[in-house]
Amino acid sequence: MDFLSFMPEWLITHGAAVLVIMPLLLGAITAILPSERLAWFVTLFVTVFSTVTAFAILLVIFGGETQLYKMGGWDPPHGIAYVIDGLNAPIIFLICSMALLTTLYGLKSVVAEVEPKKRAPFYAAFMLGMAGLLGMVVTGDAFNVFVFLEVSSISTYVLVAMGASRDRRALAASYNYLILGSIGATFFVIGLGFLYMETGTLNMADIGGILRNLDGGSRVSMVAFGFITVGLGLKLAMFPLHLWLPGAYAHAPTMVTVFLASTATKAALYLMLRFTFTVFDVSFDYVFTVLTFIITGLGCAAMLLGSLSAIFQTDARRTLAYSSIAQVGYMLLGVGMLTAMGLTASYVHVLNHAVIKGALFFALGAFWYRYGITRTEDFAGLGKMMPWTMGAFTLGGLSLIGVPLTAGFISKLQLARAALDRGWEWAVVVIMVSSILAIFYIGRLLLAAYFQSPPEIDGEVVERNEAPLIILIPMWFLALLSIGIGIYYSDFVVQLGQNASDVLLQGDRP
Partner 1 sequence: MIDLLTSNPGFIIILAGFLCAFIPVSEIRKFLVGAAPIAAAFLIYTAFKDPDAAYTTVKAGGQDFIVNRIDRLSMIWGYVFCLAGVLNAIYGLHEKCKITDSSALIYMGAAVAGVFVGDFLTLFIFWEMAAISSVMLVWKGGENSFPAGVRYLAIHVLSGVLLLAGAIIYARSNGMDFTMGEPGEYGFLGLDKPGGLLLFLAMGIKCGFPFLHNWIQDAYPKASITGTVILSAFTTKLALYALARCYAGEDILIYIGAVMTCFPVFFAVIENDLRRVLSYSLNNQLGFMVCGIGLADMSGKFGELAMNGVAAHLAADVIFKGLLFMSMGAVMLRTGTAKASELGGLFRSMPYTTIFCLIGAGSIAAFPLLSAFVTKSMILTAALDTALYAEGYSLWVVYAMLLFASAGVMEHSGIKVPFFTFFAHDSGKRVQEAPWNMLVAMGLASVLCVFFAFPWGGYQFLYSLLPFESTYEPYTGNHVVTQMQLLFAAMLAFALLKKYGMYPDERRAEILDFDWTYRRFGKGIAKWIDAMWARLSANVGVLRKNAIERSGRRLYQMFSPAGTFSESTPSGIAAVLTGGMLVLLFIVIYLS
Before 468, cis peptide (omega within 30)? no
Contacting partner 1 within 346-405 (CB under 8 A): 348, 391, 404
Q: Is 461 in the site for partner 1 (CB under 8 A)?
A: no
Binding-site string for partner 1 from residue 402 to residue 421, where x marks contact by CB under 8 A and - marks none: --x----xxx-xx--x--x-
Query: Can you list the alpha helix ranges (DSSP code H) found in 423-489?
Result: 425-451, 469-487
**DSSP conformation class of 461:** E
Binding-site string for partner 1 from residue 283 to residue 302, where x marks contact by CB under 8 A and - marks none: --xx-xxx--xx--------
Query: Can you list the alpha helix ranges (DSSP code H) found in 168-294?
Result: 169-199, 204-213, 219-235, 244-251, 254-259, 265-274, 285-289
User: Given candidates 3, 45, 74, 451, which one binds partner 1 under the rule CB under 8 A?
Assistant: 451
User: Given candidates 183, 220, 448, 462, which one binds partner 1 under the rule CB under 8 A?
Assistant: 183
For residue 30, give the nearest of 14, 41, 20 by alpha carbon.
41
Q: Is 44 in the site for partner 1 (CB under 8 A)?
A: no
* Segment near partner 1 (CB under 8 A); pick from 71-79, 98-106, 123-131, 305-313: 305-313
Q: How many residues bind partner 1 (CB under 8 A)?
A: 65
Identify whether the C-beta of residue 37 lies closer than 8 Å to the C-beta of residue 103: no
Residue partners of 77: CB distance under 8 A and separation at least 6: 201, 202, 203, 206
User: Given candidates 105, 122, 148, 187, which one binds partner 1 under the rule CB under 8 A?
Assistant: 187
**DSSP conformation class of 424:** -
Q: Is 241 in the site for partner 1 (CB under 8 A)?
A: yes
Residue partners of 90: CB distance under 8 A and separation at least 6: 58, 347, 351, 496, 500
Element (DSSP H or E) covering residue 45 = helix 36-62
| Distances from the Cα of 256 to the Cα of 110, 216, 250, 339, angstroms | 10, 40, 10, 34
Q: Is 244 in the site for partner 1 (CB under 8 A)?
A: yes
Distance between CA atoms of 339 and 400, rounded to whole angstroms?
24
Contacting partner 1 within 193-232 (CB under 8 A): 222-223, 225-227, 229-230
Give the nearest distance from C-beta 494 to partner 1 in angstroms: 6
Q: Is 428 in the site for partner 1 (CB under 8 A)?
A: yes
Q: Is 275 in the site for partner 1 (CB under 8 A)?
A: no
Binding-site string for partner 1 from residue 140 to residue 179, where x marks contact by CB under 8 A and - marks none: -----------------------------x--xx-xx--x
- Four-residue CA torsion sign, 379, 383, 385, 391: positive
Interacting residue ranges for partner 1, rule: CB under 8 A: 169, 172-173, 175-176, 179-180, 183-184, 187, 222-223, 225-227, 229-230, 233-234, 240-241, 243-244, 246-247, 285-286, 288-290, 293-294, 305, 308-309, 311-315, 318, 322, 348, 391, 404, 409-411, 413-414, 417, 420, 425, 428-429, 432, 436, 439, 450-451, 486-487, 490-491, 494
